[in-house]
């Protein structure tokens, strides 16, 4: 079985190869930083982050201290911990809806920092300020590797894959990506139980095993 990893995190392909799987990389997205002035976050009660890219860009532009930080997704929480920051809240469901269910109310003054074009549910529900830190650019490669399974880790990757019309089964990192993939007509055969790198790795291994492969 040939597996194609379509995202930007090279660690996933490395780990899957270490599991004995036949993996090729074909990026369908790239991350473009958005420049801006230094960010002063200490006037906020909460900062909400949704991805490791958001963590990296926020810390690159941060001046002063951070208030309480809430993370959507275990991958975001891991990125924070790798920087020595313990999130005050990690939503059990890796969606904006999941965050809204668990964030203490009243939340006070909230900063939502993430990708340009992100869903505005948190902004609307919490009257939060929004700062775009990066944008995700969808790519259209001239060719896509002949393969049996594609791994998609973002809605942008799902849209880019659908545009190629290659008719390949997919493993998704989480519910938001899965929903976008299904809207685009993709065949999602598995979704990671934990919406991070390790969860995606386990989902891919299981899907490959069920399809007749034998990863170690």
Tell me the domain boundaries of the chain: 2-28+139-210, 32-136
| pLDDT of 216 above 90 | no
Calculate the dihedral angle through the C-alpha atoms of 55, 56, 57, 61, rounding to the nearest 10 degrees: 100
Does the structural domain 2-28+139-210 have CATH classification 3.40.50.10090?
yes
User: pLDDT value at position 111?
Assistant: 98
Determine the Cα–Cα distance for residues 71 and 89; give it in Å rounded to an integer.
Answer: 6
Edge to edge, the sheet with strand 169-172 lists 22-25, 2-5, 149-152, 169-172, 187-191
Question: For 103-157, how does the pLDDT look when each residue is reduced to its tens digit (9 = 90+)?
Answer: 999 999 999 999 999 899 999 999 999 999 999 999 999 999 999 999 999 999 9
Residue from 56, 63, 45, 53 nearest 153 by CA: 53
Architecture of the domain whose range is 32-136: 3-Layer(aba) Sandwich (3.40)
Whole-prediction pTM value? 0.81
Question: For 15-48, how does the pLDDT look when each residue is reduced to its tens digit (9 = 90+)?
Answer: 999 999 999 999 999 999 999 999 999 999 999 9
Alpha helix positions (H), 62-154: 74-82, 96-102, 121-126
Which comes out higher in pLDDT, residue 179 or 213?
A: 179
Tell me if 2-28+139-210 shares its fold with 32-136.
Answer: yes
| pLDDT of 213 above 50 | no
């Amino acid at each position: 079985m040939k597996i194609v990893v379509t995202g930007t995190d090279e660690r996933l392909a490395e780990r899957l190869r270490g599991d004995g799987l036949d993996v090729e990389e074909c990026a369908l997205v790239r991350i473009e930083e958005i420049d801006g002035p230094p960010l002063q976050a200490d006037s906020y009660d909460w900062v909400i982050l949704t991805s490791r890219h958001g963590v990296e860009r926020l810390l690159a532009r941060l001046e002063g201290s951070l208030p309480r930080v809430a993370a959507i997704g275990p991958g975001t929480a891991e990125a924070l911990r790798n920087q020595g920051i313990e999130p005050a809240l990690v939503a059990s469901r890796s969606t904006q809806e999941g965050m809204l269910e668990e964030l203490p109310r009243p939340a006070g003054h909230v900063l939502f920092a993430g990708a340009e074009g992100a869903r505005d549910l948190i902004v609307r529900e919490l009257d939060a300020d929004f700062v775009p830190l990066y944008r995700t650019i969808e790519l259209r490669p001239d060719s896509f590797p002949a393969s049996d399974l594609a791994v998609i880790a973002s809605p942008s990757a799902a849209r880019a894959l659908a545009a190629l019309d290659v008719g390949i089964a997919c493993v998704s990192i989480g519910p938001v990506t899965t929903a976008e993939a299904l809207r685009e007509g993709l065949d999602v055969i598995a979704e990671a139980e934990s919406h991070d790198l390790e969860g995606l790795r386990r989902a891919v291994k299981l899907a490959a095993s069920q399809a007749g492969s034998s990863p170690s």
